[in-house]
Structure 1
Amino acid sequence: ILELRLRRLTRFSKIELEAEKAQLLAEIAELEEILRSDEVLRAVVGREMDEVAVAHGTPRRTILLADAGVASAISFEGLSARGAAAAQASPAAARGVASSLEIPDTPCTALLSVTGLVARTADDTPVQRDGRRSPHDVLRSTVASSARADVGVVTSRGRILRLSLLEVPALPPTDDPPSLAGGVPLRDLIALERDEEPVALVPLDAQAPLAMATAQGVVKRLAPEPAPSRDAWDVISLKDGDSVVGAAVAPDDAELVFIASDAQLLHYSASLVRPQGRSAAGMAGMKLGDGATVTFFGAIPAGADAVVATIAGSSGALAGTQPGSAKVTAFSEYPAKGRATGGVRAQRFLKGEDVLIAAWAGPTPARASAGSGQPVELPAVDNRRDGSGTALSTPVAGIG
């Protein structure tokens, strides 16, 4: 009896071992075939990648860039509903979806907020200024461009740094002023030096001169010319201790506007400043009083409905801690003066005030925000050219 049971057990084990041997020999033959044929190897790798994509595929926002950072970018943000459905239906169909993931070169507007965030619109719909307020909705500058193009960043050191809009997040469409809360800090995208600040976004292919001014009252219009292929280049020769405070494209019919820290405002036609090359140092733009510096510089298009917003405070207070008093006045109330003159008073200082802590001139309405990006309401328009301001309850970090 014991011998019979052992014989039966041995027969069963032999059958199992022979089946396992046949299975292993088949796997070895399959692996040897993969090693012998590159075509079979690629087919196996492709099939396994399709299986991984179906099992683990999730919507992504990754952008792959070539070494140069341009041209070969692929966006995976479209691999969500349509791409996932195609992957489940057929791995081959999923590979077909990839061709549509490249970011299209659609028109857009690059935006820079006063809090230092940068983003772009999803299309070329004009940026709204009227509407519901939201955090980080005060813009320092805007540039019409396209999603795969580069724009320039003018810095306080008198340089232009190249910024690829492929690296900039797109904002969802809105009927209200865009909120850059979904943007990214501009400092994370460009290589700024120590104590260097971004001043404005500018197009690299503008047909009109680029105007800029410095804290010491120097003005310059840069003659239009092809942008260098480098990532950064100088656009003005600065004196020691001087810095660029503003920049904007300024055709001959635009008005150049200076606002000084002692509340003096000067504006005149851009045609009074002849265009110069990149190495030039500019010319006298505004005559400044003792101890005064240029707080704001910009260019207002001809015929624009513009306002001037100023906030006065004390030079002895810690920066960013005093609300100050604000005043908003129509730009048309200020008469034009000649280049290199002192201008006219924009705001009368109250007791304890001796300096402008913020100033801006541009299209109406003027908007302000705190350092956190939260909106700050400015007073209604007061057309007294040199009137005093209205007290604010919150310190303002920027106006736009």
Structure 2
Amino acid sequence: MSSDVPVDPEDVRAAQVERVRIEDEMEQSYIDYAMSVIAGRALPDVRDGLKPVHRRILYAMHEMGVTSNTTHRKSSSVVGETMGDYHPHGDSAIYDTLVGMAQEFSMRYPLIDGQGNFGSMDGDPAAAMRYTEARMAPIAGELLADIEKDTVDFSSNYDDRLEEPDVLPAAYPNLLVNGSTGIAVGMSTKVPPHNLGEVIDATIEVIENPDCDLADLMEHVKGPDFPTGANIVGRNAVRKAYSSGRGRLRVRAEFDVEEYDNGRERIVITELPYQENKARLVERIAEDVNEGVIEGISDLRDESDREGVRVVVELKRGANLEVVKNQLLEHHLESTFGVINLALVDGQPRVLSLKETLEQYIDHRKEVVTRRSAFELGEAEDRAHILEGRLKALDNVDDVVEEIRGSEDRDAAKARLREAFDFSEAQSEHIVRMQLGSLTSMESAEIEEEYDDVTARIERLEEILGSESELLSVITEELEAIKAQYDDDRRTGFVEDTGSVAHEDLIPEEESVVVVTEDDYIKRMPAAEFRAQNRGGKGIIGTDLKEDDRVSSVFLASTHDYLLCFTTHGQVYQLKTYQVPEMGRTARGKSAVNVLDLDDGEEITAVVNCDDLDDEEYLTMVTRDGYVKRTAGEAFDNILSTGIRAIKLEEGDALADVEVTHGDHHIVVGTRDGMAIRFAESEVRPMGRSARGVRGVRLTGDDRVAGVAAIDADQHNWVLTVTKNGYGKRTDLDEYRVQSRNGKGLIDIKTNERNGPVCAVEAVTHGDHLFALSEGGQILRTPVEGISTYGRNTMGVRVMDLDAGDKVAAVDVLPAARVGTDDGE
């Protein structure tokens, strides 16, 4: 373009504009930002274990001369120096970092020696920086040792006025020793702290045995060592974290049980999981106690002081210690520490195993010691050169003095010395500055001694630089010296991993009464709420029924029992007693569909405890139409949540009752019309779950089976019969002669207008308790021995006093062995 043609300014500006796609610009800008955060702020360097802000604080203190040997300086002074020279990101961020490095509960080996209020485990913040003082802790000086000997690279600070180190020399593996936590863009790091001595021993192991494996290293490094102590649950998670760089550790508080005040107990918490807020922990426990989530605690207080943590949890008299401990563990005293051993390696983020972390540190120290040795060698050679000149001058002292005296000025003197004695510039400069007093014979001896020392030092440094084994021996010696000075005892212990606390461990083991209604409401209540009464009583309210609903069944079980629930449809379901909602006596209960997957019209008719059910035992089932079937217990090992078929039923038939038998029992089947038949269990051959069974009793008219009793002659002494109208009796077993199955049986009890039809037949012995539940929701508990003994074909006595129109819905027996454990006597 011709120079005399005017240029349009708009064209110039347009030519300077670069056209790019907005998504490309956004992507690149975000990547640049992410890498800036990753490398310049959030992640530690594997070599010194420090993030930039930590490194800059320590270097600023080093430059200020605020070391472990000086007096404390105001924290605001340190923060101001760091922010002004190296870290222009705001004083609060710098001060928060400084505070963290001074907190003994945050850092395993604090790098700052603080004076004043630096916060607490209760989450209290530190005092303002103008009130606190700080200086470097002695161990922090080891991170900066030899930094002035060209051991690390330096870069310009943010405004190019000064230089700052890219990494510190780090005389020990600080990344593992003090750990690190940080969140970058798309990644985070969480390296747990460790015991200094253990980490140094593992480092030396890698130096001496480069082919060592993880098992060798874990002989030294047992696991993380948190500043707050506590316990790591199990070792498998530690091994996984060390091998892959990632893992999840369960950390459990340390606590003891103390006894006081006539046998009462208290749990005393003395160590908390790492980074746990103590005040918030006490708060949460108190909230759970007030809301009834945790029961059995009478008082809670924090007695901690400067000597350590002491949180006291006092238990109520009679509280179950194991249950309270498990509840505290489940909700409060265990936490998870997620290990992500992510650090910068050559400026790039990498997840490292334990061995890789140590190898990276060793490589760093090799470089540091090599550069330091080269620096010291240069200094030593310079000093040896000067000493050689001095010795030469002493050998020719008269001539040297003569040359100097004959010179016009100092420069001329240096020139004459170089010409006359072949001194170098540095040697001649040194000689002309020497004092006459240094020319004595004693001074000459000292110079020779120093020269010998320097020469030996040069030889040693050359040996280190020329041999990797010597280099590694120096690193090992220095690590051992650090360990000797700073090593201490491990704080974090290990406890056996018995698995996560099971839900049932949080539930007190107690006898329960489970009530089910025709409209499928279900609930459980402690059996202890029902005190034993004399027979003939009304009992007490056991459940609140909605209109037109009636109780259909009741059964007794411990909260930890594993139950098989058989239904009228011939299905069987598996259930833990504690899964049934616990509610008060006047509560209606919850819908059974929340507990069992029952069909419409399906009712629980029998419940069997299968905790002790083995392959040599049988489940003997009786249907309302009189069929009997015996199936091995092993057939019920794997039960689906939707249940499985227990027995095949003909149309119109329903399962009436189930008992556990041992192959040598006698079976007593009772009918609604008061008939009973006794036959040997062996008369019913074992069958599969899909079988219907064989006829056990021949029924007449509209009679149906009411219940079955499995008789062990060595344990059960009576057959207990209860009728719908609340009457019943005990009858000696011998009154029922043994017959063949499929007979009509004998008359058991009269079922006239007073008694009504038979409701249940049970085998009972001395000390058993009967629980009778009416359709209206009344529950009576009475010792069976309070019910009179009568022969067959009799009327019996009143067992339960029923309101008009009410009937006995179901009964169950609490065995003598479990009576008293429920405090119901």
Q: TM-score range by the shorter chain?
A: 0.5 to 0.7
**Alignment partner of 2:682: what SS?**
helix
* Counterpart check, 1:398 vs 2:810: yes
Q: Counterpart of 1:309 in structure 2: which amino acid?
A: L
Structure 1 pair 260/39, CA: closer, same or farther in 2 (3 Å)? Answer: same
Q: Counterpart of 1:211 in structure 2: which amino acid?
A: T
**What is the CA–CA distance in structure 1 between the aligned matches of 2:297 and 2:600, rounded to whole Å?**
41
Q: Which moved more, 1:294-303 or 1:199-208?
A: 199-208
**What is the CA–CA distance in structure 2 between the aligned matches of 1:193 and 1:60, rounded to whole Å?**
37
Q: In structure 2, what is the equivalent of residue 218 of structure 1?
A: 627
Counterpart pick for 1:334 among 718, 726, 736: 736
Q: In structure 2, what is the equivalent of residue 73 of structure 1?
A: none
Structure 1 pair 193/360, CA: closer, same or farther in 2 (3 Å)? Answer: same
CA distances 1:273-296 after superposition (whole Å, capped 9, x unpaired): 110111111111110011111011
Structure 1 position 374, deviation (Å): 2.9
Q: Which has the higher strand share?
A: 1
Provide the aligned C-alpha RMSD in A.
4.9
Cα contact 1:120–1:169 (8 A) shared by 2? no
* Counterpart check, 1:154 vs 2:154: no
5+ residue gaps, structure 2, are 1-79, 98-180, 194-225, 227-272, 313-327, 335-494, 517-521, 543-552, 813-825
Q: In structure 1, what is the equivalent of residue 501 of structure 2?
A: 102
**What is the CA–CA distance in structure 1 between the aligned matches of 2:697 and 2:297, rounded to whole Å?**
56
Q: Which moved more, 1:46-55 or 1:241-250?
A: 46-55
* Counterpart check, 1:56 vs 2:284: yes
CA distances 1:356-379 after superposition (whole Å, capped 9, x unpaired): 142222113562434334316687
- Name the TM-score, length of structure 1 as normaliser: 0.65
Count of aligned pairs? 336
Q: Which moved more, 1:339-348 or 1:193-202?
A: 193-202
**Alignment partner of 2:190: what SS?**
helix
Cα contact 1:140–1:200 (8 A) shared by 2? yes
Structure 1 position 29, deviation (Å): 5.1
Q: In structure 2, what is the equivalent of residue 383 of structure 1?
A: 790
Cα contact 2:570–2:645 (8 A) shared by 1? yes
Q: In structure 2, what is the equivalent of residue 318 of structure 1?
A: none
Q: Counterpart of 2:601 in structure 1: which amino acid?
A: D
**What is the CA–CA distance in structure 1 between the aligned matches of 2:722 and 2:689, rounded to whole Å?**
34
CA distances 1:72-102 after superposition (whole Å, capped 9, x unpaired): xxxx848957997699964999989438982
Q: In structure 2, what is the equivalent of residue 278 of structure 1?
A: 689
Counterpart pick for 2:189 among 25, 30, 38: 38
CA distances 1:290-339 after superposition (whole Å, capped 9, x unpaired): 111101123122322333333446xxxxxxxxx45433323332222210
Q: In structure 2, what is the equivalent of residue 230 of structure 1?
A: 640
* Counterpart check, 1:369 vs 2:768: no
Greater RCO, CA 8 A, separation 6+: 1
**What is the CA–CA distance in structure 1 between the aligned matches of 2:684 and 2:586, rounded to whole Å?**
38
Structure 1 pair 396/78, CA: closer, same or farther in 2 (3 Å)? Answer: closer
CA distances 1:326-356 after superposition (whole Å, capped 9, x unpaired): 3332333222221011111111244x35841
- Name the TM-score, length of structure 2 as normaliser: 0.34
CA distances 1:244-297 after superposition (whole Å, capped 9, x unpaired): 111111112112121111110112111111101111111111100111110112
Q: Counterpart of 1:275 in structure 2: which amino acid?
A: P
Cα contact 2:627–2:694 (8 A) shared by 1? yes
**Alignment partner of 2:718: what SS?**
strand
**What is the CA–CA distance in structure 1 between the aligned matches of 2:678 and 2:621, rounded to whole Å?**
13
5+ residue gaps, structure 1, are 1-17, 62-75, 122-126, 171-178, 314-322
**What is the CA–CA distance in structure 1 between the aligned matches of 2:579 and 2:301, rounded to whole Å?**
25
Q: In structure 2, what is the equivalent of residue 25 of structure 1?
A: 90
Q: Which protein has the larger Cα radius of gyration, Structure 1 or Structure 2?
A: 2
**Alignment partner of 1:275: what SS?**
coil
**What is the CA–CA distance in structure 2 between the aligned matches of 1:85 and 1:341, rounded to whole Å?**
73
Structure 1 pair 120/210, CA: closer, same or farther in 2 (3 Å)? Answer: farther
**What is the CA–CA distance in structure 2 between the aligned matches of 1:389 and 1:114, rounded to whole Å?**
26
Q: Which has the higher helix share?
A: 2
**Alignment partner of 2:734: what SS?**
helix
Cα contact 1:156–1:244 (8 A) shared by 2? yes
